[in-house]
Amino acid sequence: MISAAALEYFLSALTTLMVTVDPPGLAPIFLSLTLGMTAPERRSVALRATLIAGLIMLGFAFFGQPVLGALGIGFPAFRIAGGLLLFWIAFEMIFELRARRKTNVARTAIDEDHIRNVAAFPLAIPLMAGPGTITATMLLAGSAQGETIRLGALVAVIALVSVSCFAVFLVADRLSKLLGVTGNLVLTRLLGVLLAALAVQFVIDGIKAVM
């Protein structure tokens, strides 16, 4: 039987990573990166990018905190710094800065790298598993406090987010047309406000730990 605390952690983790990764927001970028590819090639790129990003998130979830400890960085300090970083990402989402930055990264990558490499860069890194996602994953792993159920919930959340990205990539063309420009803007801003609130909560938790 799953406890109320474990369920609350699962929902909080799912919301945080879904907002940070923003699968619907990646749909138009995926289309631009895979322009001219056949359907099988697009599926291959989507699968590779999803697997790479998922493995990166899992790696930082389980090994990120020991690395911080080796560097002499306390987790409360990382909570505060991570919360501020997530707040900046939320600010970018609300004021349309994040979409522009991601699009610029994608354009630069297409100019510099061959099309076969877009699954790893820039799709998996840094568009899916970027600094904000990695920070959020490590914060959530720290919040689990070593509890097996919560860590299992975090793994399930990472898997769900990865599958969601893969599903969005497969229907990117239809999703982009369905939401339209206005729909994408409204969704991004609403998610930005939600992420800002979660970021502030991380900062508060960090300050409490220090106090």
Q: 2-39, pLDDT tens digit by residue? A: 678 888 999 999 999 998 898 887 887 787 677 667 88
Please tell me the distance from the alpha carbon of residue 77 to that of residue 82, in angstroms, as a whole number.
Answer: 8
Residues whose CB is less than 8 angstroms from the CB of residue 190 and which lie 6 or more positions away in sequence, other chains included = none
What is the count of structural domains for the chain? Answer: 1
Res. 68: pLDDT tops 60: yes
Please tell me the distance from the alpha carbon of residue 27 to that of residue 83, in angstroms, as a whole number.
Answer: 26
Contact 41, 179 (CB under 8 A): no
Q: Which domain holds residue 12?
A: 4-210
Burial of 86 (0-12, 13-18, 19+ CB in 10 A): buried
Top-confidence range, 6-20, 151-165, 194-208: 151-165
Average pLDDT of 129-153?
89
Instruction: Look over the chain and give the mean of its residue pLDDT values, rounded to a whole number.
Output: 81
Q: What DSSP state is assigned to residue 188? A: H
What is the band of 83 on the pLDDT scale with cuts at 50, 70, 90?
A: confident
* 122 upstream amide cis, omega within 30 of 0: yes
Res. 112: pLDDT tops 50: no
What is the band of 111 on the pLDDT scale with cuts at 50, 70, 90?
A: very low
Pick from 83, 66, 70, 201: nearest CA to 146: 66
Please tell me the distance from the alpha carbon of residue 203 to that of residue 33, in angstroms, as a whole number.
Answer: 35
The better pLDDT of the pair 159, 31 is held by 159
The better pLDDT of the pair 98, 209 is held by 209
What is the band of 97 on the pLDDT scale with cuts at 50, 70, 90?
A: low
Residues whose CB is less than 8 angstroms from the CB of residue 126 and which lie 6 or more positions away in sequence, other chains included = 105
